[in-house]
Amino acid sequence: MHPSSSATTATLPGARLVEGRGELSRAVTRALRTDAPPEYTPASVLKTDPWGEDLQLALYLLYELHYRGFDAVDDEREWDPDLLRLRSAMEARFLHALRTELSDAPRTVAEAFAPLLVEPLDLSGSLSHHLETGGELWQLREYAALRSLYHLKEADPHVWVVPRLTGRAKAAMVAIEYDEFGAGHADRIHARLFADLMADLDLDPAYGRYLDHAPAPLLATVNLMSLFGLHRALRGALVGHFACVEVTSSPGSRRLAHAMRRCGAGPAAEHFYAEHVEADAVHEQVVRHEVIGGLLATEPRLETDIAFGCAATVLLEDRLADHIRRAWDQGRSALRTPLPEA
């Protein structure tokens, strides 16, 4: 049994623990359910596809222990050395895959962000453009179910960088996060606004409800934030990720707000994205000039890490968009299990 003297349960409702999708994720699930160490071999980590369902789900499950946890899983498992050892091995596999894919990526902030500051003339590959111009309600529901794994804890992974910043960068980061968390108003917290969006779309807004539906490309986008956030050594990459999201959010949110209105998704569904259009346009300027600028003023050696965080975000978002569009173009669900009809 785990050495904790007494089991504790989360004060907030956690997610439901799902079944594994391979050797590693099944080992994690069994370990969390039985309060025992995970059973695996180092060789099994090395041979597992770093982009695949098994490793990405196993990482997601272990990262979730640092958020709201799982129902009936002891809170003390967050710092279980056996689970952390497995997590570290999988993180190394994931990071190696990212760095290999991005070996030719830009290494300066200017080069990494330059393509993101100008909206491309050809939007045919844009998922938000597809949803705005021809998307159907069932596709909007799938998109919301997938994104719920992040948006129901929106901005939480980025808070981990705050104690690792100082001066301008810290002040600007906290100012942006203050907006993300409702500027002092609980009903304006962005996670709450997304829950309202889900209700408009006849989706279950329970935290982690659609984890079992989410394929590996979606899990990887959330895991990236957790990976960067939980490691002080990757603080530059987390700032790069955050900046990339803020820079690209406003145009995409505008298109998604139009999509929600065109499909009659409901006022709360439209409002979530409309809220991000103006706010993130302001955040873009603050994050580029004050968060990144302030961080580089104090730690210029982190520039390559910031560029890497941006490039990794673009890579994983493109992989997710390709997965979704390929499924939809074939007339099938992009989820592992289709949603019930609204």
Of 258 and 10, the structure prediction assigns the larger pLDDT to: 258
Residue 270 scores a pLDDT above 90 = yes
- Average pLDDT taken over every residue of the chain: 94
pLDDT value at position 5? 37
Angle at 334 between CA 13 and CA 268, to 5 degrees: 55
Q: Where are the domains of the chain?
A: 23-101, 109-329
CA distance 260 to 273: 9
Residue 129, classed as helix, strand or coil, is: helix
The model's confidence at residue 172, banded by pLDDT at 50, 70 and 90, is very high
Half-sphere exposure in the Cβ direction for 266 (13 Å, CA): 17
The model's confidence at residue 82, banded by pLDDT at 50, 70 and 90, is very high
CA distance 324 to 316: 12
Residue 272 scores a pLDDT above 90 = yes
Of 289 and 277, the structure prediction assigns the larger pLDDT to: 289
* pLDDT tens-digit readout, 34-55: 999 999 999 999 999 999 999 9
Contact 310, 224 (CB under 8 A): no
Residue 8 scores a pLDDT above 60 = no
Residue 4 scores a pLDDT above 60 = no
* pLDDT tens-digit readout, 240-260: 999 999 999 989 999 999 999
Residue 33: phi, psi to the nearest 5? Answer: -80, -30
pLDDT value at position 121? 66
The model's confidence at residue 11, banded by pLDDT at 50, 70 and 90, is low
Least confidently predicted of 18-27, 69-78, 123-132, 148-157? 123-132
Residue 3 scores a pLDDT above 90 = no
CATH T-level assignment (fold) for domain 109-329: Heme Oxygenase; Chain A (1.20.910)
CA distance 76 to 79: 6
For the segment 185-204, the average pLDDT, to the nearest whole number, is: 97
State the helix-helix crossing angle for 235-262 and 303-329, rounded to 10 degrees: 30
